[in-house]
Amino acid sequence: MESGNSFEQVAPSFASTSSSSSYPSLQCDIFINHHGVDVKHNLARTIYHTLGLLGLLAFLDVEVLEAGDLIPVEIQAAIAHASLHIVIFCPNYTQSPWCLAELSFMLKTGTKIIPIFYYVDPSDLRWVAQGKGIYTDAFSQHEKKGR
């Protein structure tokens, strides 16, 4: 994914949605980046609730966002305000332009990122640069689409 992409380029239809939330409500300690289909209702939710039990305010879209929220802006605000990011890498992670856009924005903030590898090996990320591994095809598709 090219670093110039924004959330609006990933999903331009969200750019014109009205927002019912304000930035202060999205300030959180930890932002959880994940591929929803794979881990939203099991691992990501478990991490979210466990952090809450420890007194930490985490951001998990399904738990925090409401209908009518300006999704790209709300997510960017949560990422920008978080003091730590958790990225859950799973087999289908790179198929999501949202996951990659969020990861790109996290990297730009310079905030510490804790990776969790869920049914993938850390070497799967290293192989991408060599055109190998489970994420290679997804990255190629994103590049073809200008992401």
Catalytic residue among 2, 8, 74, 102: 102
Instruction: Mention every residue, 6+ apart, whose C-beta is less than 8 A from residue 74.
Output: 19, 21, 26, 65
The burial of 116, by beta-carbon neighbours within 10 Å (0-12 exposed, 13-18 middle, 19 or more buried), is given as middle
66 as an active site residue: the answer is no
Dihedral over Cα of 13, 34, 80, 54: its sign: positive
> Catalytic positions, please?
102
